[in-house]
Amino acid sequence: MEPLSAVGGVLLTVLVFPGLVFLVLLGLLSQWYRRKLAARLQNRVGPKYVGPFGVLQPFADVYKLLFVKELVTGPYTPARAITYVMSLGVAAIATSVLLLPLSPFSIGAEYDILVFIYLTLYASIAFALVGLGSVSPYPGLGGIRYTTLMLAFEPAIALSLIAAVRALAPRSLSLRDALGQPEILAPGDPYRMTVQVLVLITAGVSLSIAVLAKSMLKPFDIPEAETEVAGGYLAELSGPALGLGILLHEVEIALYVLVLSNLVIPIPPAAPDPLNILASLAKYVVVLTILVVVAYSMGRVRLDQALRLLLRIPLPLSVLSLALSFFV
């Protein structure tokens, strides 16, 4: 391949598909779906007025925040640095899709699952920095809450991802190989298949709970509750900073659900042709629906209860799945 066309392809992948533009579209559409489904579960209507069935409501919200509203900030708060940190988080998430086999220009390497974990950490660090970097104590409390939960959900996410990739691509430990050419369902080897399925189930459950915590969805979403709004790391943000915060939150959820759904349902594999992309999106919708239904059927938990829950279920499950993955 010509070097210039390769550079163009990589930029196209990162900026358009399946990168920035695609992830923003997917994230905001998922936000609408999540809000609509949650509203149905709670006997409400949900987004209704902007676009057919209110589907354009998240787009209108983010557009208004990014391009119309001004950024109101307190003294000593580095407003430009806050927007840059969140832009870097969005960019890191968009760049990490280069490791997914959804584009012909995807890049892979042995052990690239570690690179994926490293890149997606930027988003968590951005949220923690935004909360802890504010002068006001309210986002500070939100930042503390987030960093406390990070102690438990980040190791669980990392271990589950490594375990699932070990099960699907034991030779290369590459996320691209695990999603694009999974070594699964060997017909002559029922022992190996059973172990693989067990690893995927344990890693999938652990990853799902940890992703709910990372995304601050129920039951880990005290900042969403009206009376405790002071606890959110985005509490003092407005205008473009808040818009970027919402955008980062949505693209992060979209990326994790995309990876989670393609890891736990490895057939058909992810590939850059239209049918496989549609299959990947179908898996995405199934997993997102399950996550939303489970999440919105629960009540909120206190910070110490949330930490205890994360230390008791997803973390041991991720260690178990990693241990099982050695037998694949």
Partner 1 sequence: MDALSLAGLLTAISLLVSLIVWLPLASRTRIRRTEVYLSGEPQAHFSISIAEASWAVRRVLERLYSTLLNHVQTGVFNDWFALSLPYLLLLLVLLAVATYRGGV
Which residue type is seen at 62?
A: V
Q: State in Å, rounded, how far the first CA of the chain is from the last one.
A: 36
| Residue whose C-alpha is closest to residue 207's, from 251, 154, 169 | 154
Least distance from partner 1 to the Cβ atom of residue 274, Å: 25
Largest CA distance in the chain: 67
Q: What does the block give as tokens for 280?
A: 């990947």
Q: How many CB atoms lie within 10 A of CB 9?
A: 16
Which residue type is seen at 268?
A: P
The span of 108-116, 196-204, 258-266, 268-276 binding partner 1 (CB under 8 A) equals 108-116
Angle between helices 79-96 and 239-264 (to 10 degrees): 20
Least distance from partner 1 to the Cβ atom of residue 235, Å: 11
The span of 39-47, 165-173, 254-262, 283-291 binding partner 1 (CB under 8 A) equals 165-173
HSE-up of 81 (CA within 13 Å, CB side)? 8
User: Using CB under 8 A, which residues numbered 284 to 323 contact partner 1?
Assistant: 303-304, 306-308, 311, 322
CA-CA-CA-CA torsion sign (301, 223, 303, 120):
positive
The span of 29-37, 38-46, 136-144, 258-266 binding partner 1 (CB under 8 A) equals 136-144
Q: With binding defined as CB under 8 A, does residue 84 bind partner 1? A: yes
Least distance from partner 1 to the Cβ atom of residue 270, Å: 19
Q: How many CB atoms lie within 10 A of CB 207?
A: 30
Which residue type is seen at 24?
A: V
Collapse the DSSP code of 45 into the 3-class scheme (helix H, G, I; strand E, B; otherwise coil) and give the result. Answer: coil
Q: With binding defined as CB under 8 A, does residue 64 bind partner 1? A: no
The correct pick among 102, 119, 167, 237 for binding partner 1 (CB under 8 A) is 119
Least distance from partner 1 to the Cβ atom of residue 77, Å: 8
The correct pick among 171, 190, 227, 299 for binding partner 1 (CB under 8 A) is 171
Q: With binding defined as CB under 8 A, does residue 15 bind partner 1? A: yes
Least distance from partner 1 to the Cβ atom of residue 37, Å: 29
Q: With binding defined as CB under 8 A, does residue 63 bind partner 1? A: no
C-alpha–C-alpha distance, residues 295 and 298, integer Å: 6
Using CA atoms, how far residue 161 sits from 31, 173, 231, in Å, is 24, 10, 29
The correct pick among 157, 244, 257, 279 for binding partner 1 (CB under 8 A) is 244
Q: With binding defined as CB under 8 A, does residue 271 bind partner 1? A: no
Least distance from partner 1 to the Cβ atom of residue 100, Å: 12
| Residue whose C-alpha is closest to residue 235's, from 72, 88, 80, 34 | 72
Interacting residues with partner 1 (CB under 8 A): 10, 14-15, 20, 66-67, 70-75, 79-80, 83-84, 87-88, 90-92, 94-96, 98-99, 107, 109-115, 118-119, 122, 135-137, 140-141, 144-145, 148, 151, 159, 162, 166, 170-171, 173, 236, 239-240, 244, 303-304, 306-308, 311, 322
